[in-house]
Amino acid sequence: MNLVYAREMQALDRYTIEEFGVPGLVLMENAGRGTAELILEYFRPSLSQGALIICGPGNNGGDGFVIARHLAQKGFPVKVFCLAPFEKFKGDALVNLQIIKKMEIPLFLVNNDISVLKQEIKASGLIVDAIFGTGLEREVKGHFAAAIEAINQSEKPVVAVDIPSGLSADLGRPLGIAVKASLTATMALPKVGQVIYPGRHYVGELKIVDISMPKRVIAELAPPRFLLNESWAANHLKPRGPDSHKGTYGHVAVLAGSSGKTGAAILTCLGALRGGAGLVTLICPKSLNHIFETTLTEAMTFPLEEETDIQSLSYQAFDKIISFCRDKKAVAIGPGFGIHRETFELVHRLVAHLDIPAVIDADAITALAGEVFHLRRAQAPRILTPHPGELARLLDISKEKIQENRLEIARLAAKETESIVVLKGAATVVASPDGREAVNYSGNPGLATGGTGDVLTGLITALLAQGYEPFIAASLGVYLHGLSADILAKRKGPFGFVAKEVAETLPNAIKEIMVRKNLGQF
């Protein structure tokens, strides 16, 4: 499903109206009716106490008038409060205002004094927030802000029309203050600001309302930005043919592990195995080989002599690694690999010369700080999987700056490194140098435990080895990894599950998506 900014949504609206001739009034009718249907589906018990619809001066308010009409038609008590003078309304919103006036639906005007509105909020069963949508253009102040505050203090179920009022559809944060919704009924496509943090906290459950925007409009005009949710995953996860074998699913090489960090290598191998790789071999320092041979059953090892004083591989192993990887499908480099100068030298050479797709993580990203040009010499696709701190070091910018503009910075990093960048964290983002990007919708804070990143690295490498093109491999890996954690959170608890369990639950995540796929739910 495409993910849009406000201006992109407005362009899609305009194209639908001007090129396809779908009148704006029809779009508004579909928006309002679809939202009313969601209200009936999810909040019917609350409606008996009355729905309070609070409308702003634009078309978001217009949607509110349509919702009021449909709920009134069904016999529910409805009251409409306008936060702007009636004469301010124009176009489709005015048409719908006039209709509800003729229907004598109780209509009230709020200027600066919101005392009546506050009482009505308290007396109502459900609040419909139709104050601002994608037309929000500045900080919310005055009686608009007071109304939003009253809504948030009411502890009533709140349905946000299109987007919680006050939340920026682009920035994903409140402009002053924003409605905290129980459910957001968004028109046609999800907005970026609804699926990144802190915006996601204000949205509640996100539901898409089909306003009959022709699919061709979206296919032709929507940007290559996607929400990684279950339907996206079901659309991209490939089933296995009965006549397949280990070779079909590729041999993954893992370059990871050093003294004290053997677990990172083991978890990467586990992630690759549970991610469906046909075979996995860990290229490791000879002195640690016995540890891996004891712990890894399904994965093989390829021990190498040359080591540093922290028992990590050094550039002297370069030739042997290159020849070993010649017939491999994909390689993971970095987890627990060691931060020794000679190991960094090895990373620089491998990143530039390995001619198979590679996932570069952890210490290998650290090795590339200030040395990004090695990535631009790469002879095969590269996927970087930094957490914010690693990306901060790689790009030499502050972690705060990254966290405030995650999608934009990931986009910049992808261009800068000519690699796919997976910027991990709450709502992981994936950006490709070719302009494609995605925001992940799965996962939870239980993932904040050591080693989960190593599992993700192995998983993405396994998907590369199975033939997924790099952007899809990265995005599918991110989604399945988060879904595995969501399954664990439901099954075990919000946190306390460990990285190894995230790997072990990947088959359950894959099964969940396959079931959806077989049911055609994508």
Ligand X SMILES: NC(=O)C1=CN([C@@H]2O[C@H](COP(=O)(O)OP(=O)(O)OC[C@H]3O[C@@H](n4cnc5c(N)ncnc54)[C@H](O)[C@@H]3O)[C@@H](O)[C@H]2O)[C@H](O)CC1
Q: Counting contacts by CB under 5 A, is residue 165 touching K ion?
A: yes
Minimum gap (Å) between residue 400 Cβ and ligand X: 26
* 119: phi then psi, degrees, rounded to nearest 5: -65, -45
Give whichever of 129 and 363 is closer to K ion, judged by the CB atom: 129
Binding residues: 59-63, 129, 133-139, 162, 165, 264, 336, 387, 424-428, 453-454
499 contact choice in ligand X, K ion, none (CB below 5 to 8 Å, kind-dependent): none
Q: Which of 39, 47, 54, 60 binds ligand X (CB under 6 A)?
A: 60
Q: Counting contacts by CB under 5 A, is residue 161 touching K ion?
A: yes
Which positions ≥6 away from 321 have C-beta within 8 Å? 255, 283, 304, 313, 346, 350
Query: Could you tell me how many residues of this chain bind ligand X (CB under 6 A)?
Result: 28
Which of 334, 354, 441 lies closest to 394, judged by CA?
334
Minimum gap (Å) between residue 138 Cβ and ligand X: 4
Minimum gap (Å) between residue 79 Cβ and K ion: 17
Q: Counting contacts by CB under 6 A, is residue 359 touching ligand X?
A: no
Rounded to whole angstroms, how far apart are CA atoms 56 and 52?
13
Minimum gap (Å) between residue 146 Cβ and ligand X: 12
Give whichever of 56 and 285 is closer to ligand X, judged by the CB atom: 56
Query: Could you tell me how many residues of this chain bind K ion (CB under 5 A)?
Result: 4
307 contact choice in K ion, ligand X, none (CB below 5 to 8 Å, kind-dependent): none
Binding residues for (6S)-NADPHX: 59-63, 133-139, 162, 264, 336, 387, 454
Map the footprint of ligand X across residues 426-445, applying CB under 6 A.
none
Which positions ≥6 away from 522 have C-beta within 8 Å? 230, 231, 232, 233, 234, 235, 516
CB-based contact 51:70 (threshold 8 Å): no
Minimum gap (Å) between residue 179 Cβ and K ion: 7
Q: Which stretch binds K ion (CB under 5 A): 161-169, 283-291, 312-320, 349-357?
A: 161-169
Give whichever of 141 and 511 is closer to ligand X, judged by the CB atom: 141
Binding residues for AMP: 424-428, 453
Q: Which of 58, 174, 278, 477 binds ligand X (CB under 6 A)?
A: 58
Instruction: Specify burial of residue 415 (Cβ count, 10 A radius: 0-12, 13-18, 19+).
Output: middle
- Residue 499's Cβ-side half-sphere holds a number of Cα atoms within 13 Å equal to 21
57 contact choice in K ion, ligand X, none (CB below 5 to 8 Å, kind-dependent): ligand X
DSSP 8-state class, residue 404: H
For every residue of 292-361, DSSP letters joined together read HHHH-SSSEEEEES-B-TTS-B-GGGHHHHHHHHTT-SEEEE-TT----HHHHHHHHHHHHH--S-EEE-
165 contact choice in ligand X, K ion, none (CB below 5 to 8 Å, kind-dependent): K ion
Q: Counting contacts by CB under 6 A, is residue 214 touching ligand X?
A: no
* DSSP element (H, E) containing 452: helix 452-465
Rounded to whole angstroms, how far apart are CA atoms 235 and 227?
12
CB-based contact 478:440 (threshold 8 Å): yes
Rounded to whole angstroms, how far apart are CA atoms 506 and 233?
13
31 contact choice in ligand X, K ion, none (CB below 5 to 8 Å, kind-dependent): ligand X
Give whichever of 59 and 281 is closer to ligand X, judged by the CB atom: 59
Find where tokens 């001619």 sit.
355
Q: Which of 3, 51, 52, 63 binds ligand X (CB under 6 A)?
A: 63
Which positions ≥6 away from 384 have C-beta within 8 Å? 360, 361, 365, 375, 394, 413, 417, 419, 420, 421, 422
The interface mask with K ion, positions 120-149, x = CB under 5 A, is: ---------x--------------------
* 406: phi then psi, degrees, rounded to nearest 5: -55, -50
SS3 382: strand
Minimum gap (Å) between residue 54 Cβ and ligand X: 12
* 465: phi then psi, degrees, rounded to nearest 5: -65, -25
Q: Which stretch binds K ion (CB under 5 A): 158-166, 235-243, 422-430, 449-457?
A: 158-166
Q: Counting contacts by CB under 5 A, is residue 181 touching K ion?
A: no
Q: Which of 100, 114, 179, 211 binds ligand X (CB under 6 A)?
A: 211
Map the footprint of ligand X across residues 107-166, applying CB under 6 A.
132-140, 144, 161-162
Distance spanning both ends of the chain, measured CA to CA: 9
Give whichever of 181 and 237 is closer to K ion, judged by the CB atom: 181
Q: Which of 59, 428, 432, 475 binds ligand X (CB under 6 A)?
A: 59
Which of 35, 199, 259 lies closest to 126, judged by CA?
35
Rounded to whole angstroms, how far apart are CA atoms 17 and 74?
29
Which of 387, 370, 378, 411 lies closest to 478, judged by CA?
387
Which positions ≥6 away from 216 have C-beta within 8 Å? none
Amino acid of residue 127 = I
Give whichever of 134 and 268 is closer to K ion, judged by the CB atom: 134
Map the footprint of ligand X across residues 25-54, applying CB under 6 A.
27-28, 31
Q: Which of 2, 4, 8, 13 binds ligand X (CB under 6 A)?
A: 13
Map the footprint of ligand X across residues 166-205, applying CB under 6 A.
187-188
Q: Which stretch binds ligand X (CB under 6 A): 58-66, 105-113, 150-158, 454-462?
A: 58-66
129 contact choice in ligand X, K ion, none (CB below 5 to 8 Å, kind-dependent): K ion
Residues of the shown chain interacting with K ion in the complex, contacts defined by CB under 5 A: 129, 160-161, 165
Residues of the shown chain interacting with ligand X in the complex, contacts defined by CB under 6 A: 9, 13, 27-28, 31, 56-63, 132-140, 144, 161-162, 187-188, 211
